[in-house]
Amino acid sequence: MLVLGIETSCDDTGVALYCTRRGLLAQALHSQIAMHERYGGVVPELASRDHVRRLLPLTEQVLEQAGVALADIDAIAFTEGPGLAGALLVGAGVASSIAFALRKPAIGIHHLEGHLLSPMLSERPPDFPFVALLVSGGHTQLMRVDGVGRYALLGETLDDAAGEAFDKSAKLLGLGYPGGPAIARLAQTGRDGAVALPRPMLHSGDLDFSFSGLKTAVLTAVRRGLPDEQARADLAFAVQAAIVDVLVAKSLAALEASGLGTLVIAGGVSANRRLRDLVALAQAERGFDAHFPAPALCTDNGAMIAFAGALRLAAGQAAVVPSGFTVRPRWQLSELPAPPRA
Ligand code: KG4
Ligand code: ZN
Instruction: Say yes or no: CB of residue 184 within 6 Å of ligand 1.
Output: yes
Task: Indicate if the pLDDT at residue 176 is higher than 90.
Answer: no
**Residue 227 DSSP symbol:** -
Predicted pLDDT at 214: 95
Predicted pLDDT at 334: 87
Helix (H, G, I), strand (E, B) or coil at 24: strand
Ligand 2 being an ion, which residues bring their Cβ within 5 A of it? 136, 300
Predicted pLDDT at 152: 96
As a whole-number percent, the residues of the chain with pLDDT over 90 amount to: 96
Instruction: Indicate the domain borders of the chain.
Output: 2-116+298-335, 128-292
- Mean pLDDT for 223-239 is 97
Task: Indicate if the pLDDT at residue 255 is higher than 90.
Answer: yes
Predicted pLDDT at 266: 98
Q: Is 287 exposed, middle or buried (0-12, 13-18, 19+ CB in 10 A)?
A: exposed
- Mean pLDDT for 81-107 is 98
- Sign of the C-alpha dihedral computed for residues 106, 109, 114 and 117 taken in this order: negative
Predicted pLDDT at 69: 97
Atom number of ligand 1 nearest to Cα 138: 7
Contact 90, 8 (CB under 8 A): yes
260-300: pLDDT as tens digits:
999 999 999 999 999 999 999 999 999 999 999 999 999 99
Measured in Å, residue 86 CA sits from the centre of ligand 1 at 21
- Mean pLDDT for 118-137 is 96
Instruction: Say yes or no: CB of residue 5 within 6 Å of ligand 1.
Output: no
pLDDT band at residue 177 using 50, 70 and 90 as cut-offs: confident
Helix (H, G, I), strand (E, B) or coil at 36: helix
**Residue 261 DSSP symbol:** -
Enter the pTM of the model. 0.95
- Sheet containing 130-135: order of strands: 150-156, 140-147, 130-135, 262-266, 289-291
Predicted pLDDT at 114: 98
CA atoms of 5 and 109, how far apart (whole Å): 9
Examine domains 2-116+298-335 and 128-292 and report if their fold is the same: yes
Mean pLDDT value across the chain: 96
Task: Indicate if the pLDDT at residue 197 is higher than 90.
Answer: yes
Helix (H, G, I), strand (E, B) or coil at 236: helix
Structural class in CATH, domain 2-116+298-335:
alpha beta
- Sign of the C-alpha dihedral computed for residues 104, 108, 113 and 119 taken in this order: positive
CATH topology of domain 128-292: Nucleotidyltransferase; domain 5 (3.30.420)
Instruction: Say yes or no: CB of residue 81 within 6 Å of ligand 1.
Output: no
Predicted pLDDT at 330: 96
Task: Indicate if the pLDDT at residue 40 is higher than 90.
Answer: no
pLDDT band at residue 195 using 50, 70 and 90 as cut-offs: very high
